[in-house]
Amino acid sequence: MNCNEYREAIGADPSFDGGAGHLSECASCQAYRREMLELDRTISAALSIDVPELTVPELPDIDTGNVVSLSHRRWSPPTLLAMAATVVLAAFIGIRMIGSGGEFDSLADQLLAHIDHEPYALRVTDVPVSDTRLESVVPAAVARLDHSAGLITYAQSCRINGRDVPHLVIQGERGPVTLLLMPDEKVQGPQSVTGESVNGIILPVGNGSIAIFGERDENLERIEKNVLDSVTWST
């Protein structure tokens, strides 16, 4: 069982107790499970609140002689067409969002959104991921990776531009630093990226690229060199 399969299972049923082998070695899924269980408890508590029985108060008699009937409102053809166009546009946008996972103006925007989607990955810790976990996320068929980049505390296979790519986190001087290894995502040159609280860079590496994101005051130049020295594409 991988992370996507486990999260789909526990998302459908928070009491799901399968996948113990995967859960024992995946810190991100452990955090996700805690979040789902807490959400389930919150919903259960909300549903258990006693609601008083609905009672309708007695209303005084109404003098129907003072009631004014409103004329039936008729929609003009332009109004009906505008409403229909709005519904069609909303449906089209919904289908695009469901089918593609959201549209982004650039690779940088997609990477920033992805990092925001996995805040639990950015934990300050001195506990590395297991070698087994790291090898499953960065298989030899994708890249050869040594440990000179830094202490790797998070490893997850994530979807970027329709491809599964290794999402790693190392511990920097100012906090966790995100690495996204994209062997098939070619860029023309280095691209600086700035988010609300992070800064980063997308570096061309052979026919692919590597993205590095850290805190605003993190010195990424040293990390860039270490990462580039530690990663070699297998193809």
- Sketch out the chain's domains with CATH numbers: 3-45 (no CATH), 107-233 (3.40.1000)
pLDDT band at 153 (very low <50, low <70, confident <90, very high): very high
Label residue 24 exposed, middle or buried (CB < 10 Å: 0-12, 13-18, 19+).
exposed
Check residues 16 and 228 and name the one with the higher pLDDT.
228
Q: Binning pLDDT at 50, 70 and 90, where does residue 233 land?
A: very high
Are 208 and 160 spatial neighbours (Cβ–Cβ below 8 Å)?
no
Q: What are the structure tokens assigned to 73, written together? A: 């409102």
- In whole angstroms, how far apart are CA 16 and each of 7, 23, 73, 207? 10, 12, 53, 41
Q: What is the mean pLDDT of residues 199-218?
A: 93
CA distance 40 to 14: 7
Q: Hey, what are 92's tokens? A: 């089209």
Q: 20: exposed, middle or buried (C-beta count within 10 Å: 0-12, 13-18, 19+)?
A: exposed
Q: State yes or no: pLDDT of 19 exceeds 70.
A: yes
| Average pLDDT of the chain, as a whole number | 80
Do residues 181 and 143 touch, judged by C-beta distance below 8 A? Answer: yes
Other C-beta atoms lying within 10 Å of the C-beta of residue 96: 12
Show contacts of 100-106: CB within 8 Å, 24+ apart.
Answer: 101/159
pLDDT of residue 105: 79
Compute, in degrees rounded to 10, the torsion defined by CA atoms 72, 78, 83, 85.
160
231-233 and 143-145 as β-strands: parallel, antiparallel, unpaired? antiparallel
Determine contact, residues 40/47, Cβ cutoff 8 Å. Answer: no
- Single-letter amino acid, residue 85: A
Answer whether residue 38 shows pLDDT above 90: no
Radius of gyration of the chain (CA): 26
pLDDT band at 91 (very low <50, low <70, confident <90, very high): low
Which of these, 212, 205, 210, 104, lies nearest to 161 by C-alpha position?
104
Distance of CA 167 to the CA centre of its chain: 12
pTM above 0.75, yes or no: no
